[in-house]
């Protein structure tokens, strides 16, 4: 049924929501900006960074985008020590899915530099055939990055599946005309994701493979 599995990264593959929120809050403090609450900082996960900054600081104008981006990169990549780890079962499940013939891709709000950093850090980069990042296309929830992935891979939207933990992921998939899977353990509460009518909810990453096995049985 499905040939192409497209994954969000933060909050779906890796448990990075706390570090993202912490880095955003530290950046705001450094720049004397209003410090967002933890919930507000988590709420923008999935958006491209410029869109996230505009959402968090709507009265500050575009001039703060580059300074916040610089401070955020400093904290997320270097200074913030909040641990980030793959969710349980991720590496085994991805390797197994690839071995079963599924084509794997990433659609993320991270920058290209950020994604390449975590690809190298986790060793997972070789498992993914292709990827799209927010700084090289249009930010979620616009479906543009999914359209690009479908065009590149030659897969029809009916044979692709978007897997993510935020309403931005699921809305993007919905607008691209593809089925979606809601991840309940990430940044956005499951109630928000259910509104977007995913075809499946998973509470542990390994449930995805079991469900796909059942579909193909």
CATH fold of 4-15+85-216: Rossmann fold (3.40.50)
Cα distance between residue 190 and residue 37, in whole Å? 20
Q: Which CATH architecture has domain 17-79?
A: Orthogonal Bundle (1.10)
**What is the mean predicted confidence (pLDDT) over 20-43?**
94
The sign of the dihedral angle between the CA atoms of 121, 161, 94, 86 is: positive
Which helix (H) or strand (E) segment holds residue 50: the answer is helix 49-56
Contact 15, 53 (CB under 8 A): no
Cα distance between residue 78 and residue 76, in whole Å? 6
> What's the whole-model pTM score?
0.90
Asked whether the domain spanning 17-79 has the same topology as the one spanning 4-15+85-216, the reply is: no
Query: Hey, where are the domains in the chain?
Result: 4-15+85-216, 17-79
State the pLDDT confidence band at 47, using cuts at 50, 70 and 90.
confident
State the pLDDT confidence band at 217, using cuts at 50, 70 and 90.
confident
Residue 103 three-state SS: strand
Task: Check residue 113 and give its pLDDT.
Answer: 87
């Amino acid at each position: 049924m499905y040939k192409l599995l497209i994954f969000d990264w933060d909050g779906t593959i890796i448990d990075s929501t706390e570090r993202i929120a912490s880095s955003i809050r530290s950046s705001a403090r450094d720049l004397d900006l209003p410090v967002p609450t933890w919930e507000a900082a988590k709420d923008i996960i999935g958006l491209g960074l410029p869109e996230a900054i505009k959402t968090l600081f709507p009265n500050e104008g575009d001039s703060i985008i580059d300074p916040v981006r610089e401070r955020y990169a400093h904290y997320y990549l270097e200074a913030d020590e909040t641990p980030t780890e793959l969710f349980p079962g991720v590496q085994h499940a991805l390797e197994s899915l690839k071995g079963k013939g599924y084509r794997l891709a990433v659609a993320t709000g991270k920058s290209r530099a950020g994604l390449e950093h975590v690809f190298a850090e986790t060793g997972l980069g070789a498992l993914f055939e292709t990827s799209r990042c927010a700084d090289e296309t249009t930010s979620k929830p616009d479906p543009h990055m999914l359209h690009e992935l479908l065009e590149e891979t030659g897969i029809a939207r009916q044979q692709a599946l978007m897997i993510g933990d935020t309403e931005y992921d699921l809305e993007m998939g919905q607008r691209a005309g593809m089925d979606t899977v809601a991840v309940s353990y990430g940044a956005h509460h499951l109630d928000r994701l259910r509104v977007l009518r995913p075809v499946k909810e998973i509470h542990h990453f390994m449930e995805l493979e079991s469900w796909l096995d059942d579909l193909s049985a």
